[in-house]
């Protein structure tokens, strides 16, 4: 199992809300398996009870992190890592903030356009 990033917000995500919202997001699909996919690649997975759940993903690339950050924006959520770091999109830049330090992944649109490039490649 890899490192998990999760979308957090005050109100839990229902399966109906995830389905309804993602219907309007052209690049994102929500499958019956409860996976959120882009171009056939799993970005996040919804889990929980139908009325109360969460979205989380195990990124293996900047592309995954960028899509998870975009999902967080779409749902008005925070994207948080297992160690408490927070991932955001600020002025079109995907960032990680932890212990007062900021790491920039790069421009959201450029990361998404580059496609899936695994970190171990």
DSSP state of 81: E
Q: CA-CA distance, 104 to 55, in Å (whole number)?
A: 23
Q: CA-CA distance, 37 to 92, in Å (whole number)?
A: 22
Sign of the dihedral defined by the CA atoms of residues 90, 96, 102, 105, in that order: negative
Give pLDDT tens digits for 70-100. Answer: 999 999 999 999 999 999 999 999 999 999 9
Residues of the chain with pLDDT under 50: 1
pLDDT at 121 (0 to 100): 52
Nearest one of 89, 40, 31 to 65, comparing CA atoms: 89
């Amino acid at each position: 199992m890899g490192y998990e990033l999760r979308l957090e917000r005050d109100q839990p995500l229902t399966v109906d809300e995830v389905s309804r919202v993602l219907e309007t997001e052209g690049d994102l699909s929500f499958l019956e398996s409860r996976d959120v996919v882009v171009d056939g690649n799993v970005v996040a997975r919804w889990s929980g009870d139908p009325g109360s759940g969460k979205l989380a993903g195990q990124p293996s690339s900047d592309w995954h992190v960028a899509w998870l950050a975009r999902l967080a924006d779409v749902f008005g959520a925070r994207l948080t890592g297992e160690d408490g770091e927070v991932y955001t999109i600020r002025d079109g830049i995907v960032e990680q903030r932890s212990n007062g330090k900021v790491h920039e992944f790069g421009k959201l649109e450029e990361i998404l356009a580059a496609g899936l490039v695994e970190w171990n490649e």
